[in-house]
Structure 1
Amino acid sequence: MAGPLITRIGPNIEPPEFATVIEADGRVLMPGLIDAHWHGVFATATIAQLMATNEGYWNLKTAAAQRDTLYRGFTTVRDAAGPMFDIARATDEGLIEGPRVFPSGPALSQTAGHMDFRTTKDVPATPDKLNPFETSDMFYIADGVPEVLRRTRENLMQGATQIKLMAGGGVTSTYDPIHVKQYTLAELEAAVEQAENWGTYVLTHAINDEAVNHSLDAGVKSIEHGHMATRETLQRIKDEGAWLSMQPFLDDEDAPTLNDFQKAKYKFVTDGTDFVYRTAKELGVKIAFGTDTLFSADLASRQGAQLAKLQTWFTPYEALKMATCDNAELLALSGKLTPYPLGPLGVVEEGAYADLILVDGNPLENLDLVSDPENNFDVIMKHGVIYKNTLD
């Protein structure tokens, strides 16, 4: 490695003078992991903490969460909603430790949509009457084509590498049932057109089947979740070259704490996980891996365990490929807006970014190794910088 890139790979390379040499001693070298659906601000802060504090606390809390993410071996994340522009900038400038960030910025939601966390006392509202969460870039409420255009452009102005909209009902949201379709086709198309004008793409929160098809109608390239998609819809995702960015949500120890309304919605999600994974794999859909951890430091700490959970449907090779070079292919849809243009991510090859992990064991034979990065990841490198080295 020289600087941020891998420069040479081979069995008999003479290291240059003053180079740092690490004796791997039979360990397995792999690319750094990529989480394609991460929320840095929302990952570990509880809703109560977010409601009772301001941006200063959020940034400190997020910086700690990002550091922990890096030390779990995730060297890149696509942040799928939240005020992450400054965190991304601070990370790239070396002010804080953390993974590379592809920020979406504040997600766009219609009134009463999945990201509308206002209270009923906040309405009626006008487009110029902003909620404190909007002014702090937690989310943007955008109703109608003009508002969608404005908020999309504002996100691009601030450094979004892709644009996120809420196109259907969600689990944690307050007002929307899981089955609803959100945004008109014209509104979604407006965001897609603006993103494409900048050479990038739109991802949408779309759990139910109608929301997935609605998103595809508008030209959306990345479907987030899709747990209620039918076989016909999954075939359509494949045929149109879009991505299914899905999470292994199950009714298990990793299920989030929810109220009764949310639990009823979550059951639709968990009931569809097995079918969608198996069918998408059978059809050859492009599948991305992400965790979508929210409001729980406990769940965030199980980021690697979520990846290991994919063994139910995929081989270790398929799961690792999904969380490295496949996710990198998805992130590359941001085109010239990528903050990291010097080389590819998610691979070990000459000219690629030096984002690497030395594993004590072979994850191709035992994917559970990624569940315990503290004990199994002996070296973690990002951008050619060694962040963890237990072999020194």
Structure 2
Amino acid sequence: MGRLQVVGATVADGSGRDPVKAGVTVEDGRISRLGGSSTGTGERLDAGGLTMTPGLIDAHVHLGLSSPIEPQFSFRISAAEIAADIFATAGAALDAGFTTVRDTGGIDGGVVTTIAKGKVRGPRVLSCGPVQCQVGGHGYYGAEWEPTELWSNHHIPGLSALSMMSGNADELRGNVREAFRRGATFLKLCVTGGVVSAHDHLTDTQFTVEEIAVAVQEAAARGTYVTVHAHNNQGIRNAVEAGARCVEHGTDLDEATATLMATHGVALVPTFAVVERLLHDPAEAGLGESARERVLGVRERMAEALAVAKEAGVRVGLGSDLIGPAQDRRGEELTLRAELETPMEALVAATRTNAEILGLADETGVIAPGMRADFVLWNGDPLEDPKLFADPAAAVLVVQAGRIVKDLR
């Protein structure tokens, strides 16, 4: 893999410390040295005037929902086109500066291994495989007349599988074991209704504590964890009681529930970019106008939940939850978070904190000796102008595990 020296950059290392000008030396895919320029063989890259950050991490992606949603689940798009859209989205994630993503439902393990083999461009992908859902709950996008047992016909083996339906704890146990067989490395359950849903409301709770605990037990047996899609407090409390380790969205989180999460070490991943997109144009994602109506007020409530979570001491990560074809500006999530926090806090959430939530803190998330050489060079300073995070053209060079995977110099 060779040696790479980057000199002259202003380095924001992901720890939250003030940026400093420093050289970074990469050897065999890892950062070997920080400090002044060093001598030796290998490529030398002059990054004067550029800002270096760790490779960004998106803790809530849906690569398998890269086509227009309603046409995809009504058999109007071919498997070939769905595959093309998935791999285009994976490449766009790299181009936006994201070197690692956590897929929270929609792809089959075949996508993960294809990207990992280098056959298509994309970030490192951690996947839950299909989301685990209650019969008729969030995650089911079949027609109302379509029998539940036909839903699995929407799966494309090796490519996409959005969700699996369980009617009771025994079915859930079988389904999560099947998800692990397909390559899942963690589990995701929907424990409340959702915004992009046809058959429920955000106030609905789904799965009982006892049912969620079955998934937690199966995950623990494999040394991993459960995260949950949850908008309301009762759903969150059920999940925490059952042993889940992370909550996605958390729209209506209150102080008491945030304190409960903090006490149990449960993380939160808010998702603002998808809300912004659906408010702007749900048709862009291949959804009807009803999606806009369901998302009204969610942005303000989620912003309040973010503040409540931080005040309670909850570890707060960052996820975009983008769906549909328009997933090229993934960094918009950092721009939106920078408006609610400081740009540095948004960066730390998208790097060090997300690495902790994903169980990768000893591998990535900060620029330090011994870590994987995942980093981005930005044309300008996104900590001064956070809109740069949302502009893929501003990420002029992306390095993933020591390899230059994008170069606009």
Aligned equivalents of 1:253, 1:80: Cα separation in 2: 18
Distance of aligned partners of 1:106 and 1:31 in 2 relative to their CA distance in 1, 3 Å threshold: same
Give the superposition deviation at 1:140: 0.8
Aligned equivalents of 2:73, 2:294: Cα separation in 1: 23
Map of 1:129-148 to 2, 5 A cutoff? 131-134=152-155, 136=157, 137-148=161-172
Distance of aligned partners of 1:383 and 1:250 in 2 relative to their CA distance in 1, 3 Å threshold: closer
Question: Higher mean Cα deviation, 270-279 or 350-359?
Answer: 270-279
Matched AA of 1:32: G
In the alignment, what sits opposite 2:86? 62
Alpha carbons 2:61, 2:320 under 8 Å: kept: yes
Give the superposition deviation at 1:307: 1.2
Give the superposition deviation at 1:3: 2.6
Equivalences, count: 375
Q: Does 1:42 align with 2:65?
A: yes
Alpha carbons 2:375, 2:399 under 8 Å: kept: yes
Aligned equivalents of 2:316, 2:392: Cα separation in 1: 24
Alpha carbons 1:118, 1:131 under 8 Å: kept: no
Structure having the higher strand fraction is 2
Map of 1:114-263 to 2, 5 A cutoff? 114-123=138-147, 125=148, 131-134=152-155, 136=157, 137-248=161-272, 255=279, 256-257=281-282, 259=288, 261-263=290-292
Please state whether the residue corresponding to 1:64 is helix, strand or coil.
helix
Alpha carbons 2:274, 2:323 under 8 Å: kept: no
Give the superposition deviation at 1:181: 0.3
| Uncovered stretches (5+) of structure 1, i.e. residues with no partner | 333-337
Please state whether the residue corresponding to 1:387 is helix, strand or coil.
strand
Matched AA of 2:249: H
Alpha carbons 2:209, 2:242 under 8 Å: kept: yes
Aligned equivalents of 2:36, 2:156: Cα separation in 1: 54
Alpha carbons 2:273, 2:332 under 8 Å: kept: no
Map of 1:313-392 to 2, 5 A cutoff? 313-332=340-359, 344-374=363-393, 376-391=394-409
Alpha carbons 1:228, 1:268 under 8 Å: kept: no
In the alignment, what sits opposite 2:53? 30
Aligned equivalents of 2:196, 2:227: Cα separation in 1: 18
Give the superposition deviation at 1:379: 1.0
Aligned equivalents of 2:156, 2:382: Cα separation in 1: 44
Give the superposition deviation at 1:254: 5.6
* Backbone CA RMSD of aligned residues: 2.0
In the alignment, what sits opposite 2:135? 111
Identity of aligned residues (%): 29
The alignment's TM-score, normalised by the length of structure 2, stands at 0.86
Distance of aligned partners of 1:369 and 1:199 in 2 relative to their CA distance in 1, 3 Å threshold: same
Aligned equivalents of 1:252, 1:38: Cα separation in 2: 15
Question: Higher mean Cα deviation, 189-198 or 146-155?
Answer: 146-155
Aligned equivalents of 1:40, 1:250: Cα separation in 2: 14
Moved over 4 A (4+): 249-254, 258-261
Aligned equivalents of 2:174, 2:29: Cα separation in 1: 36
Alpha carbons 2:275, 2:298 under 8 Å: kept: no
Aligned equivalents of 1:191, 1:132: Cα separation in 2: 23
Give the superposition deviation at 1:183: 0.8
